[in-house]
Structure formats: structure tokens, C-alpha cells
Amino acid sequence: MIRSLILFALMLLIAHPALAQETFSFQGKLTNADGTPVADGTYSVRFQLFDEETGGSPRWGEAHAVTTTDGVFSVMLGTKTTLNLEVFDATPHLLLIVENEALEPRVPLTSVPFAMKSFRLDEAALVAGDNVSITRRSDGSLRIGATGGGTGGLTSVARDGTLTGNGTSSSPLGLADGAVTGVKLSNGALVAGQNVTITRQAGGAFEVASTGGGGGLTQVESDATLVGEGTTGSPLAVQVPLVLTNPGNGTVLEAHNGTGTLGHLGGSESGAYGESSQGNRGLLGGEFSGVFGLHSSGNTGELGSGSYGVYGFSSATAGVYGGNNNGNFGMLGSGYGVYGEHSGGIFGILGGNGAAVYGENGNTRGFLGLGNYGAYGQETSSGNTGILGSASYGVWGVSSNGHAGYFEGDVHVTGALSKGGGSFKIDHPLDPANKYLSHSFVESPDMKNVYDGNVTTDANGEAVVTLPDYFEALNRDFRYQLTAIGAPGPNLYIAEKISGNTFRIAGGEPGMEVSWQVTGIRQDAWAEEHRIVVEEDKPAEERGFYLHPMLYGQPERQGIGWIEKDVPAMDHEAIHQQIDKEHQRLRDAQEQRLPPPDNRP
């Protein structure tokens, strides 16, 4: 139901003396009971003029079909029923009847009558004063203008020192420098923030003070474990490589995961010590061996002790060593360390019950179950590296001269895919034997879908485009583009927006071919839960590092993935020396029939 009318303006009076007929333009706004504009459309409106504010009989009236946009409409009154000037002898009151609903109260028209009466005024009815002229125009209206003489009008403006200028077009008034003082500001003009007070002084000025007392932090001191000055331009960061020292010759770093698993670095008896919640323990750089491990079952193993390169003990079976005349040999401890070497230089080390696995063949090396890595492989001459199951990645690869990953066949990714760039690459359609053809992906900060096609207009220059039945369920925030084919189409437009998975095109010529494109933003459940973050801060551990460091003049070690690649190789020479010693010791033991070595606690 239409409840009210907002009168915007009586815009234009048009008189036709020769026809004894006058018209005037009327503009208004139709609103609902809650003040919102009525829906866009065409409404039947009857306009009537009364002498009275209420009651009485109309002296004039006519009906129009008005079209509203956001409630606003314009109409020229007097074009259907003669509008005699006698109607405006007194102030008329306009009543609107919209769709048979009368809008009260009536609107008094105060300016139109005087404008219309100017057609009936004799030129002698108005007397021009000094420096004023009155002339009748060809359309019957009267023109009142200044003749330019005399000294009338405002010539100067008195002001105090807080203003500048004379108030003229060439010297406008303005605030003088320093004109706004504390006296001019109200008590609420300044608002105190956190740890700040604002007090008006006796002279009117404001005192702004800190409640925290004293100045802020002016300098940050740091030792060699940190770099930077603690400022915006030079933020604090961890020194790389990080060197920690305990002056008391005790543990430098200790870590716990809350489930009983713990680790020490720099202890008084070992370089590193670790213990799992199951009671399994291990040492690196201990007093008696380079590596020592103890399982909760009592099984033990050592690498690089004073007597053995590799030693293993099991409560069920003893360690195993084997070799042949070709130089191939292996050492095993039941449930523990395994070492094997081929005379061609290929060798590997394994540890049971969660111990490490390492293998090397020339320029290739790999780990299984080492630290944060499930599997790690590297070709050392090129630096090409791959990881399966690390703390950060399911699969990770890097290559300096080829593909970090290569898939032949279909690949399906259930989550989001991020990349530096992308394209398709196919055999060139015009020369498939000798060339490739590549195209780049189309990128957008939104999850945008693109639909397009061609359509031919009907006899009315219109066409309806039907989209897939899932279109509105999948998309929102639609955008449209239209292009005429074969001839100009300056009047093409979207007559009806997408509704029911269709939209209507109009304004074309009959039989015109039109190319259309529609885009939409995905609104499916997965997209709503995984919106792309267009801009984001790097996490603290990645700040100062780059996805592509070389592009910014940085060394390769500043790459975010470098730490995944930077795994040290085994100390081959030390391993070989220890194994040679064990060879000799075992040969001596066989000759002298020595008993096996005691188990280490």
C-alpha cells in the first residue's frame, strides 16, 4: 500500500498564450508506509486541483500513467485537460489518487500560480526601481534584471583578526593562520585515547598528557641470537645460523610435547638426548659413542663407539655381521641398526624400532624416518630434492633444472591449489611434431566462473538466454557483457537480470546475432568455507624469506623451502674408518676365539 508522497519540485512552467493553455512539470516520490520507495514500475495516478485543503469539488483534473525509478516520477500537467489560469486565483491544493488510493493531505502549490499569473500581468503592473529593468519575453514571461548602474549591493565585510579576505569573489573570506585556539574548541572536541588525559587550562588551551608516566621504549638491546634493532625499519629476528651457549656447561635447549616425549640439546654428557613417551631413549654425541639408542624392551644399539662402527644388541638375539670376498658386507643388530655396503660404493644404514634409514649411491642419497621427514631424497650434483611426509608437506619437491613434480595422467586435488603461475601446454595443432603451444590461466582475486555464448534476437530485437539449471545455486554477484555481431548495436542492454537461471536481452535489431558473457562468484559450500585470502601477512617463521628469493636479489638459502632441502650428508670417511676397525677386530676375534663384546647398559 502506498502511504505517502514526497514533493521534489515544480520544475518548469510552459505557457502557450496563443493556445490559451498552460502546463507545468510536477516531480514527486512515492513511498511505502515504512518510508521505503515503492517498487519500480508504472502506476495509474489521477491529479486534481481544489481551492480547499479538505472537502470541496475539484476545479481541474486529469489522469496519467507514471513510471517510477526508486519511487521518483515526473509528469507534465495540463497536457490532457485544459488548465485555465483562473484555477490559480487562489492557492490551489493538489490531490494525487494512486491506483484508486487518495494520498492525503493535499499539496499546496504556492509558486506555480504566481508564475502563471505573470502571463496576465500588464507590463505597467510592475514598476522598476533604481538600476532595475522589467521587460516581457517572447514566451510571455516577465524578465526583471539589474541595469548595472549605481553602487548598490554588499561591497565589504567587516571582520576581526581570525578571518582573512573581503568576502568578494576575488578575495573570499577564510580562516586566518592560528585563528583556531583552544578557546574555540568545545570540551568534547578532543577525545582521550588509552593512557592519555586531556585537561582544559585556565587560558582555554588543552593539555594532553600520558597517564603511564615517562617516555616509551627508545632502544632494544640483543645478544648474538637475535638480529635487528627492534624498529619498524629493522625488526628483531632470529640469527641464522642460531648458536646457543650455556655457561654452566649444562643443557642448552630442552623441549617437551606434553605427552612424555622430550629432547635435550647440549647436555653435559651428550650433544643431543631424546626420550619418547614409550620409554625409548637415544643419544647423539655421547661419552662412549656417536649415536646410542635404548628401546624399552632392553634392546640397544650404537653407531661410532670406541670399539664398533655399528653395534646392536637384542634381548632375544645377538647382533649380526656378514661379508664376502667381493668386498660386500653388512652389520645388523636384531631390531636395531643395519649397515650394508656394496663394493661399488653403494651403502645404506637402517635402524629398527623407529631408527633412521639412510642410503647413498654416487650423487643420490635418501632418508626414511629422519627427524621431521617420512622420506627424503636428493640428487646432490643438481640439488634436486623430494620429500614425502614431512612436518610441513605431504609431498615436497624442488628442482633447479627440471620439474619439481611430473604427472602423466589425471591429477585430482580436493583442496585449494596455489601457484606462482599456470598454463596449459599441448602439442602445437599446426605443427605437433616440432612445436608446443601454451596458454596462461585467467586469474582473479575472486572464485569467478565465466559463461558465454551467442544468441539471435527475435522480431522485437530481444532474446532470452537460458543458463544451466545449477547456475544460481552455484553463483552470485553476476556481471554481464553484450557485443553485437555483424552490425552496431548501441542500444543493446540487459532488459531483465538473471532470474530462474535466465536473463533477457533487448534493444537490438531483429535477427541480430549477439555475443554474451556472464560471470558469477562461487557460493557453493566448499567455496564459502575456503575463500581465497588475496593479501596476507607471512607467518613469523617465514618472514624475511621468499618463495622466489633470486627474483629479489636474495640468495637461494633465503627461500622458504630451503630448510626442507638442507639436510647434511652422512660422514662417509668416519663411517668407513670405524667399519675398517671393526673388520680387523672381528678377524682378530675369530683367530683368538674372543667372546663377543659386553652389552652396554
How is 296-347 classified by DSSP, letter by letter?
Answer: TTS-EEEEEESS-SEEEE-SSSB-EEEE-TTS-EEEE-TTSEEEEE-TTS-E
Three-class DSSP category at 510: coil
Q: What is the predicted pLDDT for the residue at 509?
A: 96
Burial degree of 275 (CB within 10 A; 0-12, 13-18, 19+): middle
The pLDDT tens digits for 105-139 are 888 887 655 555 555 555 565 677 767 777 776 55
Q: List beta partners, residue 367.
A: 358, 376
Nearest-5° Cα angle at 206, 203 to 210: 140
Cβ contact 141:15 at 8 Å = yes
Whether the per-residue pLDDT at 545 is higher than 80: the answer is yes
Which residue ranges form the domains of the chain, and what is each CATH number?
A: 2-117 (2.60.40), 448-529 (2.60.40)
Rounded to whole angstroms, the Cα distance separating 39 from 62 reads 24
Strands laid side by side in the 21-32 sheet: 2-16, 21-32, 72-77
Rounded to whole angstroms, the Cα distance separating 438 from 443 reads 16
Three-class DSSP category at 464: strand
Rounded to whole angstroms, the Cα distance separating 516 from 504 reads 11
The pLDDT tens digits for 326-347 are 767 666 654 446 667 776 667 6
Q: What is the predicted pLDDT for the residue at 249?
A: 62
What's the longest Cα–Cα distance across the chain?
Answer: 149
Q: What is the predicted pLDDT for the residue at 497?
A: 97
The phi and psi torsions of 296 (rounded to 5 degrees) equal -60, -20
**Predicted confidence band at 197 (pLDDT cuts at 50, 70, 90)?**
confident
Burial degree of 47 (CB within 10 A; 0-12, 13-18, 19+): buried
- Return the closest-CA partner of residue 527 out of 487, 565, 474: 474
The phi and psi torsions of 230 (rounded to 5 degrees) equal 75, 20
Q: What is the predicted pLDDT for the residue at 33?
A: 83
- Return the closest-CA partner of residue 270 out of 253, 247, 295: 253
Give me the mean pLDDT over the 167-182 stretch: 76
Which cell goes with 345? Answer: 660404493
Secondary structure of 556-568 as H, E, C letters: HHHECCHHHHCCC
Secondary structure of 490-532 as H, E, C letters: CCCEEEEEEECCEEEEECCCCCCEEEEEEEEEECCHHHHHCCC
Rounded to whole angstroms, the Cα distance separating 174 from 417 reads 59
Q: How many C-beta neighbours within 10 Å does residue 380 have?
A: 13
Rounded to whole angstroms, the Cα distance separating 545 from 556 reads 10
User: CA dihedral defined by 223, 229, 230, 231, rounded to 10 degrees?
Assistant: 180
Give me the mean pLDDT over the 536-548 stretch: 91
Rounded to whole angstroms, the Cα distance separating 498 from 475 reads 11
Share of the chain above pLDDT 90, in %: 24
Q: List beta partners, residue 108.
A: 93
Q: List beta partners, residue 196.
A: 210
Whether the per-residue pLDDT at 524 is higher than 90: the answer is yes
Rounded to whole angstroms, the Cα distance separating 125 from 136 reads 12
**Predicted confidence band at 24 (pLDDT cuts at 50, 70, 90)?**
confident
Q: How many C-beta neighbours within 10 Å does residue 100 have?
A: 7
Rounded to whole angstroms, the Cα distance separating 505 from 465 reads 8
Give me the mean pLDDT over the 241-249 stretch: 70
First to last CA, the chain: 94
Q: What is the predicted pLDDT for the residue at 498?
A: 97
Helix, strand, coil percent values for the chain (each to nearest 5)? 10, 40, 50
Q: What is the predicted pLDDT for the residue at 16?
A: 46
The phi and psi torsions of 291 (rounded to 5 degrees) equal -135, 135
Residue 262 amino acid letter: L
Q: How many helices (H) and strands (E) does the chain have?
A: 5, 39
Q: How many C-beta neighbours within 10 Å does residue 269 have?
A: 11
Cβ contact 236:224 at 8 Å = no
Please count the CA atoms within 13 angstroms of the CA of 493 that sit on its side-chain side: 5
More confident residue, 308 or 304: 304
Rounded to whole angstroms, the Cα distance separating 95 from 47 reads 6
The pLDDT tens digits for 413-446 are 877 777 767 788 889 999 999 998 888 888 888 9
Sequence-distant (≥ 6) Cβ neighbours of residue 22 within 8 angstroms:
13, 14, 15, 16, 78, 83, 85, 116, 119
Rounded to whole angstroms, the Cα distance separating 251 from 266 reads 5
Mean pLDDT of the chain: 76
Whether the per-residue pLDDT at 173 is higher than 90: the answer is no
Strands laid side by side in the 253-256 sheet: 253-256, 262-265, 272-275, 281-284, 289-294, 300-305, 310-313
Residue 149 amino acid letter: G
Three-class DSSP category at 53: coil
Which cell goes with 197? Answer: 588525559
The pLDDT tens digits for 562-594 are 755 555 555 555 655 665 665 566 556 545 533
Sequence-distant (≥ 6) Cβ neighbours of residue 586 within 8 angstroms:
321
Whether the per-residue pLDDT at 477 is higher than 50: the answer is yes
Give me the mean pLDDT over the 165-174 stretch: 78
Q: What is the predicted pLDDT for the residue at 525?
A: 94
Rounded to whole angstroms, the Cα distance separating 190 from 182 reads 10
The pLDDT tens digits for 348-404 are 666 644 446 767 776 777 666 666 667 767 777 776 777 777 666 778 777 767 777
